[in-house]
Structure 1
Amino acid sequence: MEKSTERRHEEIRKYLLAYERASVNEIARVLDVTPETIRKDFSFLENKGFLFRTHGGAVLRNSNVDIPLNIRTQEKMDIKRLICSKVINYIDNDNVVFIDPSSTALPLGRLICLKKNLLLITNCFDMVSIAAESKHEIIMLGGSYSKTGKRTQGHFVTDMISKFSFDVAIFGLDGSEGLDGPGTQTEDAVFTNMAVMKRSKRNILIMDSSKFTRPARFQYAQFSDFDLLVTDKVPDQLKGKINTTVIEVGSE
């Protein structure tokens, strides 16, 4: 494969990871090539399992792609800050808190400075980096390193979790389309989240509304397993079907 073709495929991957969908004409204009060239590129990347072709374009194949944390962090940041500004009210001084490697939860790393004497436990490298500015004790769970998710994973993580009891645990998700609870793209995250939920007194799920219509490969819980769901908006067709307390920050 020519280097120019490889570079073009990489640019298409970056674009779809950032925007999730694109038209043939849009990408052709951005990369300054013909639409026919982009159609061939889309066919190649579809065969590689990266995208689905649509009429006149392509969409990211969410069900098979673990989107890098640095890409997810850039999405809907205003909404994520609103969600975290509500969630911080459910963390008390002296709590033992688990926060999972969710981009939605990252603003909590700064907000926890409003609390006193927390023990923060996480397997998210970015969370540790942000929360390090606070005066709280932080424990990073050890395990195999996921470059994509900037997290640790595997049986070492779940073994360490079994040594703790959490006052509050905060979880994100990759999607929930067609599910009755949160889903993730990686099997390791299922085992990690399930282990934490069993050892936490209060479990909180946080998500922006786009996750209701995104697919995920593995479901790790039901909505009813959580004490609280914080989002910007629950779709009308799901209202009354989520059996837990829901806070919609977008409606306040």
Structure 2
Amino acid sequence: MLLMDERRERILEKLVSTGSVHVSELAKEFSVTYETIRKDLAHLEEQGYLVKSHGGATLKQNAIENPFTVRERENIDDKQAVARRAIELIPEGSSLIIATGSTILELAKLLSLKSGLKIFTDSLPVAVALIKSDNQVFFFGGELRDQSSSVCGGWTVSQIRQVKVDLCFIGTDGFANLDGPTSPSSSDAFIDQVIIEHSERRYVLADRSKFRRKSLYRICGWDQIDTLVTNEGVDAQDLEALRGKTEVSLV
């Protein structure tokens, strides 16, 4: 049986992945009583993570920045499909910045099989994925940031401003309001803004779930993005509205 803190962390991960949980299902999964699960949900509600409902709970919108280790497991098939399309957009011999994000990491894994590129990144997982590739890889320095497994701060910004690359790829926590890609972190949003400014072509990679989600900080407007790469199967009205703002490539 899991310890209390471990169980609550697992409940939170499930809530992040699905958006809602049910007391009966959690009690069965963790082999505990309904009352134990209700206490877990009450604790998580006090922490500001969720809103209790009849028989369960729902994730509180914009309440948390999901840990990178949680995000990288979500919608993995969709993310890999987006990454496969994104790699087709990279000409041979290009210079590019790969920002932070779980879909971006899937692109980095594919890029590790390529050669002859100049790749810059602020993401630790991306750097690790590329470390043995036949590309020239540069890692921006700065203050380490646990939630996004990346770097941030003035040092990072000053290094990004020393380059001007052919293209960049950034991730997003969502864009349900369609005003632009968003991030749960003000520091990550600012780093992405600087990356966009120092790239000739700008791409956002996002699986289809991001049409239903948004976060606190807008990274930029869609007029600053050349193409959004996402999955088919999104709401037709949302897709049409977005196509009025930027190019959309569906996979």
| TM-score normalised by length of structure 1 | 0.91
Q: For 1:50-109, what per-residue CA distance to the aligned partner results, in whole angstroms no more than 9, with x for missing partners?
A: 222233212233512111112211122222121111111211122111111111111222
Name the SS for the 1:188 alignment partner: helix
Distance in 1 between the 2:155 and 2:63 partners?
25
What's the counterpart of residue 128 of structure 2?
129
The 1:113/1:11 distance shift into structure 2, 3 A limit, reads closer
- Which secondary structure state, in structure 1, belongs to the residue aligned with residue 80 of structure 2? helix
Report the Cα distance in structure 2 between the residues aligned to 1:111 and 1:8, rounded to whole angstroms. 34
Deviations 1:164-221 (A, max 9, x none): 1011100110121224111100000111011111111000011011111113011111
Q: Indicate conservation of the 8 Å contact 2:115/2:133, yes or no.
A: no
- Map of 2:46 onto structure 1: 47
Match of 1:245 in 2: 247
**Structure 2 stretches of 5 or more lacking a match?**
none
Structure 2 counterpart SS, 1:175: coil
Identity %: 29
CA RMSD between the two structures: 1.9
Supply the distance in 2 between the matched residues of 1:178 and 1:46 (Cα, whole angstroms): 25
Q: 1:25 to 1:73 in 2, by over 3 A?
A: same
Query: Counterparts in 2 of 1:92-107, with a 5 A limit?
Result: 92-107=91-106
Give 5+ residue unaligned stretches, structure 1: none
Alpha-carbon distance, 1:34 to partner: 2.2
Change in 2 beyond 3 A, CA 1:193/1:237: same
Question: What aligned pairs does 1:64-103 form with structure 2 within 5 A after superposition?
Answer: 64-103=63-102
Give yes or no for contact 1:64–1:217 (8 Å, CA) kept in 2.
no
SS class of match (1:90) = coil
Alignment-derived partner of residue 236 in structure 2: 236
SS at match of 1:106: helix
> How many residues end up aligned between the 2 structures?
247
